Structure 1
Amino acid sequence: MVERAVSRPWASALFQGRRHVVALTLSGPDAAERRAAFVQGIEEAEWSLSGHFVADISIDCRRPVPAGEWVELSALTIEDW
């Protein structure tokens, strides 16, 4: 379940895009296994976004919570000219 999703504009001297933060809760008896599968390799994954590319993505927080597993990630997407 998406607990929180925030996106704000980002720009440098040469590029513009958005910085995203997404917080998820995974629940169920296999939540820990699903969290591990989700975060494994996420930083090296290839992403396909129309008109943008993922310049950076990282897991900022992951921990067990009473409802299951908490994952918070951040990503920087850049407009692809």
Structure 2
Amino acid sequence: MLAQLLALAGEPTTVERAVSRPWASALFEGRRHLIRLHVHGEDYRMRSLMLMAVLTDAEWQISGHFVADITVDNGDVDNKGVWLDLSALTIEDR
């Protein structure tokens, strides 16, 4: 999923943090992911807006899982780019 996020965001983009933990409901098992991206470079504004526009409709290729939910929870702009905090829920595809 990280490689796909980086491809959607374009270059230069860096993953500053990525953590995941197990998640389960009464019917499903999966993982909850928290990701912090730094989209930077001359065109960071355009690329970060494009990423946010296509994020929920993207076709994710994750072996054995599907993306049930992915959102941008927060965004902060600095003098070099934008920091995006994302959360995603992946469910095991049985």
TM over 0.5: yes
Alpha-carbon displacement from aligned partner over 1:14-48 (angstroms, at most 9, x marks no partner): 11000001001111111111111111131222222
Q: Unaligned regions of 5+ residues in structure 1, if any?
A: none
Residue 72 of structure 1 and its aligned partner are, at CA, apart by 1.1
Give the structure with the higher percent helix.
Answer: 2
CA–CA distance in structure 2, aligned partners of residues 44 and 38 of structure 1: 10
Q: Percent identity?
A: 54
- Point out 4+ residue stretches in structure 1 off by more than 2 angstroms: none
Alpha-carbon displacement from aligned partner over 1:24-78 (angstroms, at most 9, x marks no partner): 1111111111111111131222222110011111111123112211111110000
Give the structure with the higher percent strand.
Answer: 1
For the aligned residue pairs, the C-alpha RMSD in angstroms reads 1.1
1:35 corresponding residue in structure 2: 48
For this pair of structures, how many residues does the alignment match? 81
TM-score of the two chains, using structure 2 as the length reference: 0.80
TM-score of the two chains, using structure 1 as the length reference: 0.91
1:76 corresponding residue in structure 2: 89
Task: Identify the structure with bigger relative contact order (alpha carbons < 8 Å, sequence gap 6+).
Answer: 1
Q: Unaligned regions of 5+ residues in structure 2, if any?
A: 1-13
